[in-house]
Amino acid sequence: ISLCVGCGNQIHDQYILRVSPDLEWHAACLKCAECNQYLDETCTCFVRDGKTYCKRDYIRLYGIKCAKCSIGFSKNDFVMRARAKVYHIECFRCVACSR
């Protein structure tokens, strides 16, 4: 018997949404933990610490951000990496002379 992570009730539906090996949901219960958007076949689902997120909220909360301006990166951004830090090209400047 499967229990829905969202509502805690047994799942007797024809379809069970299995998000990760141990998280099962009613189709009507799978929502983003931040914005409550329903997550279905039209929306990518991300899981972190047992919570489900839509792509927008997952990237906002857990995505890589520029070490200088703290803004995330788009897929078309050029970046500069320095050890464990990542910068937008325009943010990667000398702190002494800004070059």
CA geometry: angle 32, 34, 38, nearest 5 deg: 25
Domain ranges of the chain: 1-63, 64-91
52-79: pLDDT as tens digits: 999 989 988 998 999 999 998 888 889 9
The phi and psi torsions of 56 (rounded to 5 degrees) equal -60, -50
Which pTM does this prediction carry?
0.69
Note the pLDDT tens digit of each residue in 34-58: 999 988 777 778 989 888 999 989 9
Which of the four CATH numbers 3.40.30.10, 2.10.110.10, 3.40.50.20, 3.20.20.60 does domain 1-63 have?
2.10.110.10
